Amino acid sequence: MAEDKKVVVCVEDEPEMIDLVKLILGRKGFELVGAVGGREGLKKVRGFLFSAGLNLQSDLEAGSLSSDFQQEFQNNEIPLSGDVTITPKEDGSGWYVNDNEKARTYVVEKGLETLDIFAPDLKPDLVLLDLMMPDMDGWEVYQKMKTDDDLKDIPVIVVTAKAQSIDKVLGLHIAKVEDYVTKPFGPQELLQAVNKVLGLDAS
C-alpha cells in the first residue's frame, strides 16, 4: 500500500454494509467515507464538508466572511486563515471562498434549506456504488458523475445484490464501470477488486 491513504466513498442505503466495508478496507489502510443513499453519496463524491444555515447567506452576498461563518468552519475542524476572498459563481448558484494563505478554495452552494460547503480538491480515489437505493439509484449517481467534468475520471466499482448477468454486462461493457462485486461478498473479493482498479499491490 502506498504511504498516502487512498480515499474510498461507499454509497449504500444500508449503514450496516457501510460499516462492514469500512472494517474490511480500514484494516488495509484505506480511508472510507460512508454515504447513505444516492443523493448524499453524490455530495460526498463532490467533496462535501458540511452544511450551514441560510442565515449566513447575506455575509457571502456582501463579499465578507463573518465571525459566525468562520465559526462554522472552525466547528467542523476546518479553520480558515485571515486572508479570505469571496467571489460569486458565474451561474449564480453560490460562491467561491478562497483561503489565500492556505491556497485552498471552497465552494458554497445554495440549497433549499442550507448552504452546502464543498472542497473540490478532496474528491475520492474510488467510489463503491450500490445500485438499488430508494432516493437516487446507483445508475443515476453514476450518470451524474460521468457527465461532470470534475468527477468523470473517478473510478467506480458497482456493489449490488442484483446478480443477473444482464446487469453485469450493462455495467461493465455499456456504462464502462471499472468493476463489479456481487453481494454477499468476502473480504478478499472486495480487496482484490479495489486493489485492481486502483493499481495497487494486493499484498
Distance CA 58, CA 134 (A): 35
Backbone angles phi and psi of 85, in degrees to 5: -120, 150
The counts of H helices and E strands in the chain are 7, 10
For residue 129, list its beta bridge partners.
Answer: 11, 158
Note the pLDDT tens digit of each residue in 133-162.
Answer: 888 888 889 989 999 888 999 999 988 776
Give the per-residue pLDDT at 184: 84
What separation, in Å, do the N-terminal and C-terminal C-alpha atoms of the chain show?
8
**Which residue, chain included where needed, has cell 466513498?**
9
- Which domains are delineated in the chain? 7-46+123-198 (3.40.50.2300), 48-121 (no CATH)
Give the per-residue pLDDT at 2: 42
Decide: residue 35, CB within 10 A, 0-12 exposed, 13-18 middle, 19+ buried. Answer: buried
Is the pTM higher than 0.85? no
- Tally of residues, the chain: 203
Residue whose C-alpha is closest to residue 62's, from 110, 95, 100? 95
Give the per-residue pLDDT at 170: 62
Residues of the chain with pLDDT under 50: 1-2
Give the per-residue pLDDT at 171: 58
Give the per-residue pLDDT at 91: 87
Give the per-residue pLDDT at 3: 53
